[in-house]
Amino acid sequence: MSTPAQEPAEYVVLDACVLMSTLLRRMLLRAAEAGVFQPVWSARIGDEWRRNAARLWESTSADTLMEEWQRMQRAFPDADPGAADAYEVGLRYSDPKDFHVIATGLAKRARSGDQLTPRVSVLTWNLKDFNRSECRRLGLQVYSPDRLLAAWWPDHRDALLAATEGLAIDWAAMGRTPVSLASILHRERLYRYGKLAADSLSDAGVDYPPSPQ
């Protein structure tokens, strides 16, 4: 008997606005490394992220941002599907400045080579810029980070918890004063997911971040 083809991990296009938060970006990439999803982006998304980050984070140099982007490319060499302009043709109802985000997801699905049609989603904070009916007709789902993380929880609880616990290192590396996990996740606007993660870590007796000695 032949073994059924395994359903591929979900492809998720990370919009530039999602990449802006260092904490959320690193947490998502840890989840991706654990196999929760396959990240997707484009050179244009990367350019937009670095440009906006350089403007908002005056203390972060363009070279530092490029180094971070290059690390992401090395960690996920298949994330960028290449030229996607052709997939913008026919888009009408979403915000034109985000046509390239939708097109990147369509290009990734078309070039994935997966035996089964992969699920493709767009992860963004700017939900209003993506017309849900238009995206649905194209077979794309659009989510906020909070909603998608919460949706993943039942099937990927352990991997997501591990990715969340890593925030302690990220927070300390940024020189921040220790605060509760719930506070950090609330700051990141992860309200639904934050409750799931904070409750689970509390039940497990995890003190997050570690109390100062």
- Tens of pLDDT, residue by residue over 46-57, are 999 999 999 988
Q: What is the CA radius of gyration of the chain?
A: 18
Counted domains in the chain = 1
pLDDT at residue 204 above 90? no
The answer to the question of residue 177 being in a domain is: no
Q: Which range marks the domain in which residue 84 is found?
A: 11-153
Element (H, E) at 39: strand 38-40
Map residue 174 onto helix, strand or coil. coil
Element (H, E) at 38: strand 38-40
What is the model's pLDDT at position 202? Answer: 64
The answer to the question of residue 1 being in a domain is: no
Residue 112 belongs to a domain with what CATH number?
Answer: 3.40.50.11490
Element (H, E) at 31: helix 22-33
The answer to the question of residue 33 being in a domain is: yes
Least confident of 72-81, 107-116, 184-193: 107-116
The answer to the question of residue 194 being in a domain is: no
- Give 101's pLDDT tier (boundaries 50, 70, 90): very high
pLDDT at residue 4 above 60? no
Three-state helix/strand/coil letters over 67-101: HHHHHHHHHCCCCCCCCCHHHHCCCCCCCHHHHHH
**Cβ count near 47 (within 10 Å):** 12
Least confident of 50-64, 81-95, 165-179, 187-201: 165-179
Pick from 178, 181, 186: which is nearest to 202 by CA?
181
